[in-house]
Structure 1
Amino acid sequence: MNPSPTDPVAWNAYLAEGNARQARKRVAADVILRDAAGRVLVVDPTYKEGWDLPGGMVEANEPPHEAAVRELREELGVEIAIGGLLVVDWVPPHGPWDDQLAFIFSACLVGDTDEAGIEPLDGELAEAVFLPVGEIPALLRPRLRKRFGAALRALDDGRVRYLHDGLPTSGL
């Protein structure tokens, strides 16, 4: 017999047991950050091949948009404001990795940050540069390249994209 909400201690224990058995997802949060000339910031991670959008992995119980703000502060020493959600991409299991939800947000710099002075602060990034949009797809891994294109389209038309492994889902 399952406990009822009339017994708060037993009810909370029951809910905690169910929560412990639920699936957990890896979650990533990246941003499209443009400079005054419309170029987009990209970063070169030291721990994987190819360039990436700035951002990173979400920590336990952390909202994705706050993770993006935290990651840019930690890795590049910049403060950003999140402008809005552009993309949610469900990435299926691949290699040693379980599935993942990947978010891309629009963002802008806040404060007195000089765009030209943005540099990596730790060993996770080798370089951070603003590049013209047309140069970026060739630098990205295929999965991120599709997500980046969808984010640019979302910026253009104001419609959030929901993707399945980088591809639009029909009917949603």
Structure 2
Amino acid sequence: MSTDSSPARTILLVDLLLHDRHGRFLVARHVDSMGWHLPGGVVGQEESIADAAVRCSKEFTGLSRQVSDAVLIDQTPANDGQDKPAELIVVVHAGTVLPGETDIAVATPPKGWILQWLHRYELGEFTLACQKQRIERALSAAERGMRAPLHQHGVPAPAHH
């Protein structure tokens, strides 16, 4: 049992699992970082996970998505040596884009970001090991129809557009 009574610093993040009809999924990379990952961001203090997912979808792709389910929850423990807080990453299923939306989704990423569509077999080439595992598990859960409904104060979070 831990004797540390200080509260853990944890950042809540949301990642978007967005597919196209060719079996590809959207990934993002900041120009200053290595490796690709699912697009997403920090869930704001006054924001629900569903609201953050909708906001991130609009910020990254310009597309409005309906988001009501998570497909994976991943935790990264704090790293005291680097004063890095713990992260709780909720991967939400953001659906399948329509054929006309595929190009729109990657056309105008936020400043400093690059977006592209990847096939599953390309994961090892473009992502870090931890991201590869997170994405593969999220894809598997989505393919199997495994979903965890997002709730807010005990009731289903509204599916926003």
TM-score of the superposition, structure 2-length normalised?
Answer: 0.74
Residue 61 of structure 1, CA deviation: 2.4
What is the alpha-carbon distance in structure 1 between the residues aligned to residue 63 and residue 139 of structure 2? 22
- Counterpart of 2:86 (choices 88, 99, 111) is 99
SS at match of 2:94: strand
Q: 1:135 to 1:158 in 2, by over 3 A?
A: same
User: Superposed, which structure 2 residues align to 1:58-77 within 5 Å?
Assistant: 58-77=43-62
SS in 2 for 1:48: coil
Greater C-alpha radius of gyration: 1
Per-residue CA deviation, residues 105-150 of structure 1 (Å, 9 max, x unaligned), is 111267996212222343131x211121111233122222221121
The counterpart of 2:131, out of the listed 144, 148, 152, is 144
Please state how far the C-alpha of 1:28 moved relative to its aligned partner: 0.9
**1:117 matched to which residue of 2?**
104
What is the DSSP-based 3-state SS (H/G/I as helix, E as strand, rest coil) of the residue aligned with 2:103? helix
Extract unaligned runs of 5+ from structure 1. 1-20, 162-172
Distance 2:116 2:135 in 1: 16
The equivalent residue for 2:141 is 154
SS in structure 2 of the partner of residue 136 of structure 1? helix
Supply the AA of the counterpart residue of 1:106. Answer: H
Q: CA deviation at 1:160?
A: 5.2
> SS state of the match for residue 81, structure 1?
coil
Q: Contact 2:16–2:91 (CA<8 Å) still a contact in 1? A: yes
Q: State the percentage of identical aligned residues.
A: 25
Structure 2, unmatched stretches of 5+, are 1-5, 149-161
SS at match of 2:66: strand
> Matched residue pairs, number?
140
- RCO (CA 8 Å, sep 6+): is it higher in 1 or 2? 2
* C-alpha RMSD of the superposition: 2.5
Question: In the alignment, which of 73, 82, 98 is matched to residue 67 of structure 2?
Answer: 82
